[in-house]
Amino acid sequence: MAYEPIWTSDPSKLNKMELVKLEKDGLDVIRTIIEKYAKEGYDSIPEDEKNRFKWAGVYEQKPKDGYFMMRVRINSGILSTDQARALALIAKDYGRDLMDITTRQAIQYHWLRIEDMPDIFKRLEAVGLYSYEACGDCPRTIVGNPLAGIDKDELMDTTALVNEVNDFFLLNRDFSNLPRKYKMSISSNIYNNAHAEIQCLAFTPATKTIDGEEVLGFHAWVGGGLSAKPHLAKQLDMFVRPDEVLKVAIGVTTIYRDYGYREKRHHARLKFLVADWGAEKFRDKLVELIGDMPSRGEDKTVGWQAAYFDGVHPQKQAGLNYVGLNVPVGRLSADEFIELARLADEYGDRTLRTTVSQNILLSGVPDGKVEALLKETVLERLTPTPKPFMSRTVSCTGNEFCNLAVVETKERARTVAEYLDSRVELDEDIRIHFIGCPNACGQKHIADIGLQGALVKTPDGMVDAFDIAVGGILGPGAKFNEPLKGRVKGDDVGSVLAQLILFYKENRSAEETFHQFVGRVGIPAFQEKLTQILAS
């Protein structure tokens, strides 16, 4: 370690995982995987080492019988077609053709074996991609604007900034032992494409008049996060010029490393330190490290579109378009990914872009090629014109592969969306998020309707069920959804949601969104309706 780990003065106040990390840096496991475990096989891996596998971007998948899941970092979700083909071929050769897009714009694999890891790492590195630190107590995949560089609604192209911050932290042992996971986003889009309020550290577009000249830059937010105790990030009284983003990121991460809580794993995220310190004290400490900074300027975030881009849209480059495709619950095959790469080469700018809504964009499509592109067979399923509920349904991995989830979510979410699309006609989009455990990888707290998996006892035994929350939103006026009482059996979710949505449809004001309706009628009205539905 090049720094002094000041938190080690009293080892009795460190949780078990902290002691494991002090014995061996998480990054050391990458070499051990390549040189030892890949040769000696699954049975040679000690339990502590399996915990360190996260630093390689790898988790044991359920039911812990020799297979692993892996996440691959994708800065701002922007991929070249060469990178896309490499990812698809890894899934084809080692991952049973399965690829998931995550809510952090990453690609996730399943069914990987330890013996295959060295070749997978090698293939990724050959095209400039890495799974390293996509998981673990370290700076993870940096979320960004998937439209960076082509966006009419961005103040500046943030591609280079995201790459700069990523390159600094990736495999940097000064920051590979943080108290817990650490998530950043950098976007200059005015519609909050990178979900700033739920990040540990986020940069959002801002301007400030300095010496009589309007300067483009960012505001910084700290302490956001979901899980069992969600927190909205707090904005610091600070204006950040583009060339100071890395300096601020280093300062915030240093504070978290040195002062973050390490006694209890469930109370170690940056959000807890920020909640205790407050934004003003946090800013003061940050300034001690990085020097004085200007006070905040003018926020340029004007709303939130939840990072959805269905259909054909003009880019800021005249005559070019991007096409937003729906990937149902974020899951697609290797062959579909290869086909999308072909389309990007043939019709676009040789680029694919993943979104935090678990979808994909094709960019750089000339006006004259749009019609032919839309006739391609692969776009029948991965369509730019999805049905309303399928277009706005998000799901975590669920207990099909995840050891923490208590229920299956991917297929449940897909079938519920299909059910709603077949029975409810609505001219307003409603975002529905499914999660299988309190960790909230499916980000249920920010959904119009969030569903969290649980179990209920029936005469036939324990069955899958879900708790429902309503009214979440990000952007100006950000607010987490609020839970309703009354656990819904998994097989009844579609019917119950249909009735709740019809309650909204039949009682809303003209052009009133679901979130606005929840705010107007209140949680008690939804609770009364849900209680009535469950009693019928």
> Amino acid identity, residue 338?
I
Q: Is the pLDDT of residue 1 over 70?
A: no
Mean pLDDT of 419-428: 97
The DSSP symbol for 166 reads: H
Q: So what's the pLDDT on residue 278?
A: 98
Q: So what's the pLDDT on residue 3?
A: 86
Give the pLDDT band of residue 520 (cuts 50, 70, 90): very high
Summarised one tens digit per residue, pLDDT across range 331-357 is 999 999 999 999 999 999 999 999 999
Q: So what's the pLDDT on residue 379?
A: 98
Q: Is the pLDDT of residue 208 over 60?
A: yes
Summarised one tens digit per residue, pLDDT across range 253-263 is 999 999 999 99
Give the pLDDT band of residue 284 (cuts 50, 70, 90): very high
With CA atoms as reference, report the closest residue to 57 among 1, 139, 128: 139
Q: Which residues pair with 228 in a beta bridge?
A: none
DSSP per residue, 284-297: HHHHHHH---PPP-
Q: So what's the pLDDT on residue 55?
A: 98
Mean pLDDT of 496-522: 97
Q: So what's the pLDDT on residue 47?
A: 87
Q: So what's the pLDDT on residue 89?
A: 98
d(CA 509, CA 513): 9
The catalytic site residues sit at 71, 180-181, 436, 441-442
Mean pLDDT of 183-199: 98
Mean pLDDT of 49-54: 94
Cβ contact 90:99 at 8 Å: no
d(CA 517, CA 525): 10
Summarised one tens digit per residue, pLDDT across range 156-171 is 999 999 999 999 999 9
| Per-residue 3-state assignment (H helix, E strand, C coil) for 101-153 | ECCCCCEEEEEECHHHHHHHHHHHHHCCCECCCCCCCCECCCEECCCCCCCCC
What dihedral do alpha carbons 511, 517, 521, 524 form, nearest 10°?
A: 160
User: How many helices (H) and strands (E) would you count in the chain?
Assistant: 17, 22
Backbone angles phi, psi at 435, to 5 degrees: -135, 150
Using a 10 angstrom Cβ sphere, with 0-12 exposed, 13-18 middle and 19 or more buried, the burial of residue 207 is middle
H-helix or E-strand containing 220? strand 213-222
Average pLDDT, the chain: 97
Q: So what's the pLDDT on residue 48?
A: 83
Give the pLDDT band of residue 84 (cuts 50, 70, 90): very high
Q: So what's the pLDDT on residue 392?
A: 98
Mean pLDDT of 211-234: 97
3 state DSSP class of 358: coil
Summarised one tens digit per residue, pLDDT across range 352-380 is 999 999 999 999 999 999 999 999 999 99
CA 454 → CA 399, 406, 457, 489, distances in Å?
A: 11, 6, 10, 9
d(CA 443, CA 426): 23
Cα 37 to chain centroid, rounded:
30
Q: So what's the pLDDT on residue 328?
A: 98
Q: Characterize the bridge pairing of strands 184-186 and 234-240.
A: unpaired
CA distance from start to end of the chain: 62
Q: Which residues pair with 235 in a beta bridge?
A: 221
Q: Is the pLDDT of residue 212 over 90?
A: yes
d(CA 320, CA 363): 8
Cβ contact 330:358 at 8 Å: yes
> Amino acid identity, residue 363?
S
With CA atoms as reference, report the closest residue to 99 among 362, 350, 382: 382
Q: So what's the pLDDT on residue 226?
A: 97
Cβ contact 157:145 at 8 Å: no
Cβ contact 448:490 at 8 Å: no
Could you give the domains of the chain?
143-299 (3.30.413.10), 391-535 (3.30.413.10)
